[in-house]
Chains A and B, each alone.
Chain A
Amino acid sequence: MQGHNCRHLLGELSEYIDGTLEARLCAEIERHLADCENCRVVVDTLNKTVYLYHATAAQDEVPEGVRQRLFKRLDLENLPEE
């Protein structure tokens, strides 16, 4: 990540890994990645970073009793919910 192109493309990488970047910029990034090992590492580790956070988010749990206390506070205990 030292050259002019590396810095120039940095702000686009987040959208690139989401697959939402416009085609022209995607092509530009891919041309650059073919020649720049450092940027390939940055893109791969950025991708993995986002993947890891998605994976941990899926494991977030709501403690027992939270729902029951909420429904009680809202006076919704005896109402059908589904």
Chain B
Amino acid sequence: MVEVKKSEVFSLEALRAGDRAEFARLVGANYQLIFRLAFRMLGDQQDAEDVLQETFIKAFRHLKDFDGRSSPSTWLYRIATNEALMLLRKQKPGLVSVDEPNQNDEAEQEPLQIVDWCCMPEQELMSTEARAHLEQAIDRLLLYLRLVFLLRDIQGLSTKETGEVLDLSEMAVKTRLSRARLRLREELSGYFGERMADLKG
């Protein structure tokens, strides 16, 4: 998972007073996390960089509103997620919804692929081709599941922090993470199952 500098401590007072050196420290400690999330959400480096810059411009403007109830990185993730969603909505008007669909088919993915591919060699599991499949599998998740999965399993946020970023209860985060993981397991089982058959054949 992405390494999060949990130990990083910032002076709220200095940040709120507009201390630029303290703000520079905040930016330095968090810009990589924010860029990675934006890139995973948008799939384009330039878009991710635009979101990164907008996030910190907004953060600086609203420092005095930051109440310190969540950690600074959670607060920044929240701004960045909203910025990235705004950009996605501009690019695909009408297609971007973070809400859970009502249809029953969005319930738990029933496991259909029962293939034990765990023992495949690490170089197969982490090959360039396999990694491309891992990425594509994330892209195929509906946005409401993808966001939770990116924050929890890629960025390494806790259930509570993910809930704070997305305005969701911890229960909703857990349910969505479970659905996302089961869907990804199904996708990867299809792919690695075939690879295993190829290797044996």
What is A's interface to B at a CB cutoff of 8 Å? 1, 7, 10-11, 13-15, 38, 41-42, 44-50, 52-58, 60, 62-63, 66-67, 69-71, 73-74, 76, 79-82
Chain B interface residue count, CB cutoff 8 Å, equals 52
Which applies to chain A's interface (DSSP): helix, strand, loop or mixed?
A: helix
CA distance A15 to B149 in the complex (A): 14
Interface string of B124-157 (1 = CB under 8 A from A): 0110000100100010000000000100011110
Closest Cβ–Cβ distance, residue A54 to chain B (whole Å):
5
Residues of A within 8 A of B32 (CB): 62
Closest Cβ–Cβ distance, residue A37 to chain B (whole Å):
9
CA distance A45 to B193 in the complex (A): 11
Residues of A within 8 A of B57 (CB): 73-74
Please pick, from A11, A49, A81, A82, the residue contacting B178 in the complex, using a CB distance under 8 A.
A11
B175: interface (CB < 8 Å)? yes
What is B's interface to A at a CB cutoff of 8 Å? 1-3, 20-21, 23-25, 27-28, 31-32, 35-36, 39-40, 45, 49, 52-53, 56-57, 60, 108, 110-112, 114-118, 125-126, 131, 134, 138, 149, 153-156, 174-175, 177-178, 181-182, 184-185, 188-189
CA distance A54 to B45 in the complex (A): 21
Interchain CB contact under 8 A, A71 and B24: yes
Interchain CB contact under 8 A, B31 and A67: yes
Closest Cβ–Cβ distance, residue A59 to chain B (whole Å):
9
Residues of A within 8 A of B125 (CB): 48, 52
